[in-house]
Amino acid sequence: MKTLTYAFWGCIAILAASLCKVMARLDDTRYITAYTGLNSTGAHYHFTGYVPDLSEMQMNDSISSACGTGIWILYDGMNYSSNPTGYFCSTPAVSKCWNYKDVCQKGSSLRYAGSPYGLNDDYYNLYEDNDFHGKEFKGNTNAADLGDLDQAVSSLIVIGQSAWTFYSGQDFTGVSVCVYTNATVTNADIELDFIILMDMLGLPDNSIRSVARGCLGELVAGAEPAVPGPRLN
């Protein structure tokens, strides 16, 4: 149902927004509630999945603030801005509210990075263009080739506690780079580990052709590895 909701479930209209936040469950369910006004005010819509066209919810170019859990990416254009010149805005969060900067208040599509199941499950998202724009190839298992994104990946996000190794050749061959997560957001006992790479660090753009779980690479990006090796950042 395409319903524009004006009052949060369980919150009586006269209650302050802060009380509604207290009532919200603190768990690891990924969601984003987007508001047309700053500070969680105005019309709002609760999202749990990909939204290629926010106009279907009457939220195109109108999101000013949000509350949520996960790494949600808001794009200037529809369909995740296949034109990579558009901006993107993202706020990794666990049960947190934020305002979007002015430049981010023209969002037309929305999607998350990470597993569709557990918030902090080991997972990778590979994107066709810089800044997480365009098509994606994603998963939680080894991939000997990247399908449509073969020699096309320009940015990536890794979530969870496993390292992943990215190769310049199909079938886990060629030059390899190992990527660990390097940042964490927490709230109570809920944890979200991630690394956001807007370019490919030591590998040339559009060079990734396969990916394997674990740190099997010659070069390392992200958090300090257990066995020190050459580092890229």
Gap between the Cα atoms of 8 and 16, Å rounded: 11
Gap between the Cα atoms of 75 and 188, Å rounded: 29
SS3 210: strand
Site string for Ca ion, 39-78 (x = CB under 5 A): ----------------------x--------------x--
> Quick one: 192 or 200, whose CB is closer to Ca ion?
200
> Quick one: 154 or 181, whose CB is closer to Ca ion?
154
Instruction: Kindly identify the residues of this chain, within the stretch 75-94, that bind Ca ion according to CB under 5 A.
Output: 76
> Quick one: 152 or 192, whose CB is closer to Ca ion?
152
Among 57, 66, 89, 152, binds Ca ion (CB under 5 A): 152
Q: How far is the CB of 105 from Ca ion (least distance, A)?
A: 9
Q: Residue 136, interface with Ca ion (CB under 5 A)?
A: no
Instruction: Kindly identify the residues of this chain, within the stretch 96-115, that bind Ca ion according to CB under 5 A.
Output: 106, 108
Q: Residue 140, interface with Ca ion (CB under 5 A)?
A: no
Q: Residue 209, interface with Ca ion (CB under 5 A)?
A: no
| Long-range contacts, stretch 57-63, CB < 8 angstroms, 24+ apart | 57/2, 57/4, 58/2, 58/4, 59/4, 59/34, 59/107, 60/107, 60/108, 61/105, 61/106, 61/107, 61/108, 62/36, 62/105, 63/34, 63/35, 63/36, 63/100, 63/105, 63/107
Given the rule CB under 5 A, which residues bind Ca ion?
A: 61, 76, 106, 108, 152, 154, 206
